[in-house]
């Protein structure tokens, strides 16, 4: 079974729950199998790293951790409000993601082959 996530890389999303609730950020990574997304400057965690090479320093590194895709909502680029994503079929037969609040087309869905 193929899992689907309602956001893509480079979408701006609104965080619904957790310690970073009500923040907005850009999606850096999407993991459809685990239904996780990594958002820029959200859910920052500290990792203690060992130096792997002579020129690489070790220490405490802060990086983004993935969060569940159900905890984010797409921000419409037209109306700038968090919205649910709808699907529509255009006149030429292409599928598109649509903002449920302003009914504007967000982008065209590229079919995976």
pLDDT score at 109 = 84
Tokens 């983004």 sit at which residue? 64
- Read off the pTM: 0.83
**Residue 112 scores a pLDDT above 60:** no
Query: How many C-beta atoms surround the C-beta of residue 57 within 10 A?
Result: 8
pLDDT score at 23 = 95
**pLDDT mean over 77-95:** 91
- All domains in the chain, ordered by first residue: 1-75 (2.30.30.30), 79-113 (no CATH)
End-to-end CA distance of the chain: 15
Region of 33 please: left (phi>0), alpha (psi -120 to 50) or beta.
alpha
Tokens 């030429």 sit at which residue? 92
SS (H, E, C) 23-71: CEEEEEEEECCCCEEEECCCCEEEEEECCCCCCCCCEEEEEECCEEHHH
Model confidence pLDDT, tens digit, residues 93-109: 889 999 999 989 998 88
User: pLDDT class for 57, splitting at 50, 70, 90?
Assistant: confident
């Amino acid at each position: 079974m193929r899992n689907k996530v309602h956001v893509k890389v480079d979408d701006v999303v609104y965080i619904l729950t957790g310690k970073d609730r009500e923040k907005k950020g850009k999606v850096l990574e999407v993991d459809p199998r685990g239904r996780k997304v990594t958002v820029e400057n959200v859910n920052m965690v500290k990792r203690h790293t060992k130096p792997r090479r002579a020129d690489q320093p070790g220490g405490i590194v802060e990086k983004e951790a993935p969060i569940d895709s159900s905890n984010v909502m797409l921000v419409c680029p037209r109306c700038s409000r968090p919205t649910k994503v709808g699907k529509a079929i255009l006149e030429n037969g292409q599928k598109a993601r649509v903002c449920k609040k302003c009914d504007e087309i967000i982008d065209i869905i590229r079919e995976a082959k």
